[in-house]
Amino acid sequence: MAATAQTVAQVRDLGKYKHGWETEIEMETAPKGLNEDIVRFISARKDEPDWMLDWRLKAYRHWLTMEEPTWAMVDYPAIDFQDIYYYAAPKSTAGPKSLDEVDPELLRTYEKLGIPLKEQEVLAGVQGAPRVAVDAVFDSVSVATTFKKELESHGVIFCSISEALQNHPELVRKYLGTVVPYTDNFYATLNSAVFSDGSFVYIPPGVHCPMELSTYFRINAKDTGQFERTLIIADEGSYVSYLEGCTAPMRDENQLHAAVVELVTLKDAEIKYSTVQNWYPGDENGKGGIYNFVTKRGACRGDDSKIRWTQVETGSAITWKYPSCILQGDNSVGEFYSVAITNNAQQADTGTKMIHLGRNTRSRIISKGISAGRARNTYRGLVRMGPKAAEGRNFTQCDSLLIGDRCGAHTVPYIESRNRTAKVEHEATTSRIGEDQLFYCRQRGIGEEDAVALIVNGFCKEVLQELPMEFAVEAQKLVSISLEGSVG
């Protein structure tokens, strides 16, 4: 009841993007543009080991030979990669020792976002509420990580990737770029060259991470690109649930966000990775908004390991994102649950790849696309059964919902099977909200917009229930707010 009432209230109150404000904070930036010196500058700024700089430079040089991909069903003006700040950091946070040293303005930013950075705030919360350790990334740098001590007592490493490069270089070196190599694709290569920060998680063998880990990304400064890099390693028999949220201020210009996320699960390990992406989507006419060009991939290296991606994509002017699973270990499992909502002039081209290599590997894809206004929403996915994926199993379901006669919904799945004993099933449907469903709700006194929100929430339910509880509530509200103004 509470959530529904809140949703209704929020739909009424919030006509606009609620995270659209900007924090006035002193920033330190590298000069605009990209060249080898900028790459060196970023690396030096972070005091990185030589091998890291070499890797970045290799990536940068490779990037120069690459062309921007054009195959996605998205249109946008050419990006001037020389007109972007590749490094922007809050000035006062050149290595905060504790939360007290963090600029209070910044903490207020995260408070506004509803992200409890301060541990006591979480502890003062409702009794029995799940605790969440948060790593907050502001523009290019990680500003604070909470619950570090308690996590350390379990042997869990949860810190920014720059910190990990200082304290655990061997782990970073062993895994960085092994799932998404620096040559992978245009944006991943760019990220490899200029990534500024991100989260690093290592769960030691046999540890069930005692709390949810979470990262909040915020782009604040103007004309900056955010290039964060996340690396999560779940060692044998471990488990971790990781949440990711993103917001940005409202601006007329488009901003670039090109992140890379790499997940590795060893034998019997499991990673649950959830995203609620709510970058600024631009205004009704498609002015401004974030270009979200993200490469996310997980490798189930060990037998019986599992990776589960859950995403709720409501923001961004353009989303270009395909969280994937490489199922290498025998009996490994990959899952992908996605809700992508586009309204007004938003464009999303998103989906997943399930690459079955090991025996008896299983994958499941549930994708729900909702398109309203003049938006375009594309599901693009690949399921590949390798010759050795005996008894492999995939089930895919992609449903699209159309709201309004000027939007588009597209489905582009690729299904490749090279194993006789593997079984692949794919089904997709596209339709609009049934007149009869709407009529049923209206007849019972539910307003049109609320009825649509209700039906859409029902349509997405299968995915939303995969989210951790506190995210599920937020996501449900987001779904309603994102579709505001799309009816009547």
Partner 1 sequence: MATLVPIDGPAANPDWLSGWRAGPGNGTAAAPDWLPPVRAEAAGRFAARGLPNRRIEDWRYTNLAQLTGLELDWAPAPAEVAKESLPALVFGREADCRLVLVNGQVRPALSAVPALPEGTILTSLAEALATGHPGVADLLRERVTVDDGALKALNDSWLEDGYVLIVPEDVTVDLPIEILSVGTGGALPPAYQPRNLIIAGARSRVTVVEHHVGLCIGGYFANVVTDVAAGPEAIVRHCKVQDESKEAIHVALLDATLGRDAMFDSFCFTLGGRISRNELRVSLDGPGAHCRLNGAYLVGGHQHCDHTTAVDHAAPETHSDQLYKGVLDGRARAVFQGKVVVRQDAQQVEGHQMSRALLLSETSEVNTKPELFIHADDVQCSHGATAGDLDAEALFYLRSRGVPEGQARQLLVEAFLNEAIDAVALAGMRLPLEQNVARWMGERPQPTP
SS3 content of the chain, % helix, strand, coil (to 5): 25, 35, 40
What is the CA angle 240-245-249, rounded to 5? 165
Minimum CB distance to partner 1 smaller for 267 or for 393: 393
Contact residues: partner 1, CB under 8 A:
71, 385, 387, 400, 402-432
H-state helical runs in 30-85: 36-45, 50-64
What is d(CA 480, CA 9) in angstroms, rounded to the nearest whole number? 11
In whole angstroms, the minimum distance from the beta carbon of 396 to partner 1 comes to: 9
Minimum CB distance to partner 1 smaller for 57 or for 412: 412
Do the beta carbons of residue 237 and residue 265 sit within 8 Å? Answer: no
C-alpha distances (whole Å) from 261 to each of 159, 191, 198, 217, 399 are 15, 10, 9, 13, 26
| DSSP 8-state code for residue 102 | S
In whole angstroms, the minimum distance from the beta carbon of 145 to partner 1 comes to: 43
Angle between helices 186-194 and 36-45 (to 10 degrees): 50
What is d(CA 117, CA 103) in angstroms, rounded to the nearest whole number? 13
In whole angstroms, the minimum distance from the beta carbon of 68 to partner 1 comes to: 16
Minimum CB distance to partner 1 smaller for 172 or for 403: 403
Position 154, amino acid: H
Minimum CB distance to partner 1 smaller for 247 or for 400: 400
Q: What is the Cβ-side half-sphere exposure of residue 153, based on CA atoms within 13 angstroms?
A: 5
Minimum CB distance to partner 1 smaller for 99 or for 412: 412
Minimum CB distance to partner 1 smaller for 151 or for 370: 370
In whole angstroms, the minimum distance from the beta carbon of 103 to partner 1 comes to: 48
In whole angstroms, the minimum distance from the beta carbon of 207 to partner 1 comes to: 38
In whole angstroms, the minimum distance from the beta carbon of 428 to partner 1 comes to: 5
Minimum CB distance to partner 1 smaller for 333 or for 402: 402
Task: Spell out the residues 6+ positions from residue 312 whose beta carbon is closer than 8 angstroms to its own.
Answer: 275, 276, 277, 338, 339, 341, 463, 464, 467, 471, 475, 478, 479
The 10 Å Cβ neighbour count of residue 122 is 18
In whole angstroms, the minimum distance from the beta carbon of 410 to partner 1 comes to: 5
